[in-house]
Every structure is written in C-alpha cells, then in structure tokens.
C-alpha cells in the first residue's frame, strides 16, 4: 500500500465585481434586508455580468490565479475536475473549456455534478488519482453562475445565490499532511425538494418549459433545511468518532455556505464554537460549488501547516459528506 496522500498545495478564487445587495433586491421582489439577514445571514452576493460570460470564465480566472500563485505551468497539470451545477452547456464539459482557456493541454478533464456537494465530491475523487500514483498535479475547480438559473421574481430563492469560482491544486505528500479521510453520501429521496426540472433529457427545453419557469431552481425550504442540518452534522460527528478527534483537535470547520442558520445548527450539534467555523455567506451568498474553496482562499493566511480541517457540504439529490484535511501549506 502506498503512503502517498493528496495534499492541497494551493488555493485561489475569483468573485465577480458586481455586488447585488439586499437593498437592490428590495426593488426587485417583495422582501427586505431585515427579513433576508434574519433568515439566511446574507447581506450581499456577487453576480457575473456581461454578454457571453459563463461558469468557465470564472473557473478559468480562479485556475489562472492558482497556477500563478503556485508557480505551476499549465502543461504540468494532468487532471482537471470541474465541480459545477451550472455548466456552460450540456457538452463539452466545463472542465474542458477551463483547460482550454488556461492553456492546460496535457490533462484529462471532466465535470462532476452533485449540486452543492460537487466540490467536496470532486476533491475526494481527485485525491484518489494522486494516491494511486497515476497523477501528480490535479486541479479541482468549483464554478457556478447561479444567477443563470435563479428566478429573480421568486423571493424564496433569489435572495440565496451568488456567482463565484474557486480552485485548489492537489499534489502528492509524504509528510503526513493532506486529505486523511472522506465520508460521502447520497439519497435520491431529496429529488422532489430541490431541483431544476427542465433542460435535461426528462424535460427538454421548449416554449412550454420556459413559460412555466422550469429552468429555474425550485426549493422546498423546510425539508431541505432539516436534511442539511442532519446530514452535515452526522458526517462531521462520524468523522471525528472514526478517528478519535475532539473539537479541540480541529482548527477549523469549513461548511458549505447555504444558510447561516444551517451553519450555526451544524456547529451546535457537532459541538463546535462558531469562532472555529468559517463563515462568509454574508458577503457572497450560496455560490454552490465555489463555497468551500472560497472559504479556504479567504482564510488561507490564518491556516498553519498541520492544522486539522473538516470540510462538509450538503446539496440537492440529496448529496452530503465530510472530508478531514491536514493542511499542507
């Protein structure tokens, strides 16, 4: 058995310039700042503006920054996995487009879709290519232009989502740091509560699907909220029990940024003080596949080599999981 671990050796992110505030949303839909903040914790979110711009453009910016920061040549990258719920198009894969836009020419590329768990699942998948010895430089990029599938007349969902991208570089490590373990789960029972009904093979695009607004996100908030809290808290506790870890052993919990109430409930149920939980939902909203790398990017200067992190996410499907990481930078 190999003793190689996959370590995160670099992280970078990209957020669009345009800031959509709660005050602006008040002019678009029947809502207000107090209502949004009290129920979600969100004060503003970033929106990708401009003709012809898509998830791959944000992903490419995150990857360019990652390569520059780590001094990595595009030709060195052997695998690119793009975690996304909003691909540029059905095909080619968004990972393929990101590789093209960043000069990555020697890589195997594919997309991985698991809603808001996409980045978590992608990191766990990319790690296996490193651990097997097959590849030495793997890029995982989470990129979502959620504004492209949000109905800005639906106050239940339009307040939640923003656009962003984040990327990490995975490389082999033999110093004991890296991705230590992953617990990944899914259950199709959640399909009826969180979905985008049209646009796939079940309901191809038509005048009828567009008129019925079936290309937008639908979310039944209450069951999703309950499942998210139960799912993320259970896998965090399972991970800690499996490895004999206490809250004192963990430097940071890195949760998917879906709703501040969910994050607070997960922290409480897993017995973590909020001071050790990364939270930036107030600035970016729910950026789906980008939330976890966006947190790592913002907290990078506070992380020390050897720090124990637990990443956790929950998404439509349902999909959920947790990864234990020993920070390697």
Cβ neighbours of residue 248 closer than 8 Å, sequence gap 6 or more: none
**Is 180-326 in the same CATH topology as 5-175?**
yes
Residues 306 and 324: beta-carbon distance below 8 Å: no
The pLDDT of residue 213: 95
**Could you tell me the CA-to-CA distances from 33 to 39, 49, 158, 229, 279 in Å, in that order?**
10, 23, 13, 24, 19
Burial group, residue 269, by CB count within 10 angstroms (0-12, 13-18, 19+): middle
Is residue 207 flagged as an active site residue? no
The pLDDT of residue 2: 57
- E strand intervals along the chain: 5-14, 18-21, 44-47, 79-83, 108-112, 138-145, 163-173, 178-186, 194-195, 218-219, 252-255, 308-315, 319-326
Start-to-end C-alpha separation, the chain = 25
Digits of tens for pLDDT over the chain (329 positions)? Answer: 458 999 999 999 999 999 999 999 999 999 999 999 999 999 999 999 999 999 999 999 999 999 999 999 999 999 999 999 999 999 999 999 999 999 999 999 999 999 999 999 999 999 999 999 999 999 999 999 999 999 999 999 999 999 999 999 999 998 999 999 999 999 999 999 998 999 999 999 999 999 999 999 999 889 999 999 999 999 999 999 999 999 999 999 999 999 999 999 999 999 999 999 999 999 999 999 999 999 999 999 999 999 999 999 999 999 999 999 999 99
**Could you tell me the CA-to-CA distances from 214 to 174, 206, 287 in Å, in that order?**
49, 10, 20
Residues 312, 177, 273: CA angle, nearest 5 degrees: 40
Is residue 116 flagged as an active site residue? yes
The pLDDT of residue 296: 98
Residues 214, 211, 288: CA angle, nearest 5 degrees: 30
Residue 101 structure tokens? 């836009």
Domain ranges of the chain: 5-175, 180-326
Q: Catalytic one among 82, 116, 158, 295?
A: 116
Q: Catalytic one among 256, 259, 295, 308?
A: 256
Is residue 308 flagged as an active site residue? no
Using CA atoms, how far apart are residues 97 and 55, in angstroms rounded to an integer? 10
Domain 5-175 class, CATH top level: alpha beta
The pLDDT of residue 1: 45
The pLDDT of residue 221: 83
Q: Which of 276, 258, 250, 262 is nearest to 315 (CA)?
A: 258
Using CA atoms, how far apart are residues 138 and 101, in angstroms rounded to an integer? 17
Fold of 180-326: Peroxisomal Thiolase; Chain A, domain 1 (3.40.47)
Q: Catalytic one among 22, 96, 259, 286?
A: 286
């Amino acid at each position: 058995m190999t003793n190689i671990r996959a370590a995160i050796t670099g992280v970078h992110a990209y957020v669009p310039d345009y800031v959509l505030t709660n005050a602006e949303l008040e002019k678009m839909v029947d809502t207000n700042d107090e209502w949004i903040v009290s129920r979600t914790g969100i004060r503003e979110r970033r929106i990708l503006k401009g003709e012809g711009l898509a998830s791959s453009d944000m992903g490419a910016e995150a990857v360019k920054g990652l390569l520059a920061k780590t001094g990595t040549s595009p030709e060195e990258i052997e695998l690119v996995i793009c975690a996304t719920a909003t691909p540029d198009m059905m095909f080619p894969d968004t990972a393929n487009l990101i590789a093209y836009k960043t000069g990555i020419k020697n890589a195997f590329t594919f997309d991985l879709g698991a809603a808001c768990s996409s980045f978590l699942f992608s990191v766990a998948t990319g790690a296996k290519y490193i651990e097997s010895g097959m590849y030495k430089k793997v890029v995982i990029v989470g990129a979502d232009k959620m504004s492209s599938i949000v109905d800005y007349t639906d106050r239940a969902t339009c307040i939640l989502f923003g656009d962003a991208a984040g990327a990490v570089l995975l490389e082999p490590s033999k110093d004991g740091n890296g991705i230590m373990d992953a617990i990944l789960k899914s259950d199709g029972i959640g399909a009826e509560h969180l979905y985008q009904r049209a646009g796939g093979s079940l309901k191809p695009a038509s005048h009828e699907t567009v008129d019925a607004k079936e290309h937008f996100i639908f979310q039944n908030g209450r069951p999703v909220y309950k499942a998210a809290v139960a799912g993320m808290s259970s896998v965090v506790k399972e991970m800690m029990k499996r490895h004999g870890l206490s809250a004192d052993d963990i430097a940071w919990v890195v949760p998917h940024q879906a709703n501040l109430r969910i994050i607070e409930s997960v922290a409480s149920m897993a017995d973590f003080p909020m001071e050790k939980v990364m939270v930036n939902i107030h600035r970016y909203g729910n950026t789906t596949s980008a939330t976890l790398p966006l947190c790592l990017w913002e907290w990078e200067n506070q992380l020390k080599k050897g720090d124990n992190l637990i990443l956790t996410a929950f998404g439509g499907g349902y999909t959920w999981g947790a990864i234990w990481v020993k920070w390697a930078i």
